[in-house]
Amino acid sequence: MNKKESEELVGVKEIARRANVSIGTVDRAIHNRPGVAKKTRETILQIISELDYQPNLLAKRLASRKTLRIATLIPTASAETSFWHAPLQGIEKASAELGQQGIVSDHYFYDQDSIGSFVEKTGIILQSKPDGILFAPSFIEESVSFSRTCKRLEIPYVLIDSDLPNDESINYTGPNLFDSGYLSGHLASYLVQPGDEILIVNISKEIDGHHHLLKKEEGFRAYFQTQSPIPVIRKVDIRKTDPTSIDEHLAGEFLLAGNIKIVFVTNSRVSAVARFLEKAGKKVLLIGYDYIDENLAYLEKGVIDFLICQKPVEQAYRAMLTLYQHLAYGAIPERKEFMPIDIITRTNFHVYRN
């Protein structure tokens, strides 16, 4: 027995030990032979995924000339927010690694302020007939329709950044939106005083009843339901995202409200609010999202107090590998993999990594 065969046997023994089955059962499951119960097969494949064990399945698949194609669909970074550069880095990192194993990744991008752009790109992806899809759902109704089509066509898909209601994806890797909002409320509670008002700011051209920003708002409000007395919480939905429109909405809110001391911005566009506050000379506690250059500039100056970050590079990278392991080995991942909720300040942002 040569070294490679010996190492592979050790790997099979460990899988068999963890699954509490025989080596022969593991071999049958790995090579998709009959005689293995469905539940046992799923257990074995899950252990294979956890151990990152890669037997000769890949070599056999390549020998059969079957190339796996993965399509990715995320928003493009814009002049208003560079957030989507980070998930793209994770996708590209995973694509480079998988490309060495014969996996082809095709990247598609849509305008996060345009439903038509999203629908157009989903149609192009479906026409290309990929083996699997990774996408970030910005528009709920259209994303649900797309996911249902994927399900009907038996195309496995994974989600990043935000989940969908009643979804049947094989995996969601990303933030727990409610919990991140709840944590933001907890942070704010340390500094809110009797009589202070809180302003929640949602900035997006598309805000509907299931929008991911509203899940953060829901979590934020939920924290204060546990407090007594409950502070006055105002909110403004800003659907025109150019700087002038944002400034006009915020100026109106500060004119109407007499004592806003805390502002919670539910997405990465917190820098636009910081710019207004700095220009208007207003000092409030400002909490927002995401480790991007335009936010870090205001964080370092002390205009932004806290950034809530959930590792967008890593979440996209993990989701790509999860989809690959499912396509190549039939691994059954956890339905949801939540990313850690990190609190970034002007003290620790220099050493943080997305």
Contact 36, 19 (CB under 8 A): no
pTM, entire model: 0.80
| Least confident piece of the model among 50-59, 125-134, 184-193 | 50-59
| Distance from chain centroid for Cα 318 | 10
Q: Of 34 and 4, which is predicted with more confidence?
A: 34
Taking only the tens place, the pLDDT of each residue in 186-219 is: 999 999 998 999 999 999 887 765 578 999 999 9
The mean pLDDT value of the chain amounts to 88
Residue 36 pLDDT level (bands cut at 50, 70, 90)? confident
| Least confident piece of the model among 60-69, 92-101, 245-254, 324-333 | 60-69
How high is the pLDDT of residue 284? 96
Asked if pLDDT for residue 118 goes beyond 60, the answer is yes
CATH class of 3-55: mainly alpha
Domain 177-309 has CATH 3.30.413.10: no
Instruction: Return d(Cα 62, Cα 56) in angstroms, integer.
Output: 10
Asked if pLDDT for residue 256 goes beyond 70, the answer is yes
Domain at 69-174+312-340, CATH homologous superfamily: Response regulator (3.40.50.2300)
Asked if pLDDT for residue 62 goes beyond 70, the answer is no
Asked if pLDDT for residue 64 goes beyond 60, the answer is no
Instruction: Return d(Cα 81, Cα 75) in angstroms, integer.
Output: 11
How high is the pLDDT of residue 124? 97
Asked if pLDDT for residue 349 goes beyond 60, the answer is yes
Q: Of 11 and 214, which is predicted with more confidence?
A: 214
How high is the pLDDT of residue 7? 41
Comma-separated ranges of CATH 1.10.260.40 domains in the chain: 3-55
How high is the pLDDT of residue 276? 98
Taking only the tens place, the pLDDT of each residue in 299-335 is: 999 999 999 999 999 999 999 999 988 888 777 888 9
Mean pLDDT within 5-22: 67
Comma-separated ranges of CATH 3.40.50.2300 domains in the chain: 69-174+312-340, 177-309
